[in-house]
A and B are shown apart, each in its own frame.
Chain A
Amino acid sequence: MSTQFSDPCREDSLEVTQAAMDALKKTRGWVKFLGIVSIVMACFAALMLLIGAVALATKGLAGVVMVIEAAVILAAAVLYAIYWLGYSTSLKRLDDSGASIDEALDEALVRQHRLWMYQGILLVVVIVLAVAAAILLPLLAGL
């Protein structure tokens, strides 16, 4: 069988080789693992939120900070788990889809785009929160 490449003039579709498909499928294990770790982190954050809620009454500002931290981590971890496991599921569909493999492939790429977008947004949010905390916490502690 001769090596096949797609026509550079056609921009509405891109042919996918077995090697490219393998590269995509091999991503699945790691993505699934990261999704599972996110669920575990979400459980820890939920526990931290519970402890923070109890500490809220006795620890004052420290309790408030703990609750906010735990809530942010919980939200981030749950969203991470959704995006990671969503991408992992779409990669699994590549094996099961048969005739509709093209659609499954498009769906997998859309999911990976969402995951990258979420990572980028989360990174920006973390930086903004860190800067806000660095400015506000000393001010609040001084009150």
Chain B
Amino acid sequence: MEEAEKAIMAKIGPRGISAMRRTRPWALLISIIVLIGVAINLVDLFVRVLAPMPIVAPDVPQKMVSVIITTSIVFGIAGIVVGSLGAWFALQYGRRIKVCLDTMSSQTLEDALRAQRHFWTFQGVMMIVGIVVAISAFVGMVVMGVVMMQHGGYSP
């Protein structure tokens, strides 16, 4: 089984090697930008937890205010986790391309292509999660609107 996996199937020519070489800076740039975003998010989350801004909305029930604050903190944490993972996958791909191009071996190429697969799988999974969260948020907003109308705090 392992031997079959190691069998040579094809060859990447100069064009493909050049494409991989040129991909590396982009993978690194994406990971660095995302990491900067994560750091900003982290600072924002600390400020929100340690020194929360009072929500001045007399019409909105206190329970609803707590739900809004908790949701924003949960989304902040989720953003940090997702951003960190995305940056890590992109960074791994960038690093493995470098190792592959330095050694020019089949094994390191395998590692690089696996890292690339992991990155796109992660993006795909996050897209599914994002769609589910967006639909849930839409339903949640509708429910919140109904609750606020029942409390007489919302007049369309």
Q: Contact residues of A with B, CB < 8 Å?
A: 1-8, 10-24, 26-27, 29-31, 33-34, 37, 101-103, 105-106, 108-110, 112-113, 116-117, 119-120, 123-124, 127
Q: Say yes or no: A33 contacts B127, CB within 8 Å.
A: yes
Q: A5-B105, A8-B103, A116-B26 are in contact. Are A23 and B110 (CB under 8 A)?
A: yes
Contacting pair A20 B26 (CB below 8 A): no
Give the docked Cα–Cα distance between A22 and B109 (Å): 12
| Cβ B19 vs Cβ A16 within 8 A | no
Q: Is the C-beta of B123 less than 8 angstroms from some C-beta in chain A?
A: yes
B23, B30, B103, B110: the one within 8 Å of A123 (CB)? B30
With A6-B104, A19-B110, A23-B117 known to touch, is A109 a contact of B12 (CB < 8 Å)?
yes
Contact between A106 and B16, CB atoms less than 8 A apart: yes
DSSP majority for the A interface? helix
If A8-B105, A30-B123 touch, whether A14 touches B12 (CB-CB below 8 Å) is yes
Q: How many residues of B contact A (CB 8 A)?
A: 43
- Complex Cα distance, B92 from A55, in Å, reads 46
Chain B residues closer than 8 Å to A4, beta-carbon distance: 6-8, 106
B114 near A112: Cβ-Cβ < 8 Å:
no
Q: How far apart are the CA atoms of A17 and B9 in the complex, in Å?
A: 5
| Interface hits, B13-50 → A, CB 8 Å | 13-17, 19-20, 22-23, 26-27, 29-30, 33-34
| Chain B residues within CB distance 8 Å of chain A | 3-17, 19-20, 22-23, 26-27, 29-30, 33-34, 100, 103-107, 109-110, 113-114, 116-117, 120-121, 123-124, 127, 131
Q: Is the CB of B20 within 8 A of A117?
A: no
* B26 lies within 8 A of A117 (CB): yes
Q: List the A side residues contacting B127 at CB < 8 Å.
A: 33-34, 37
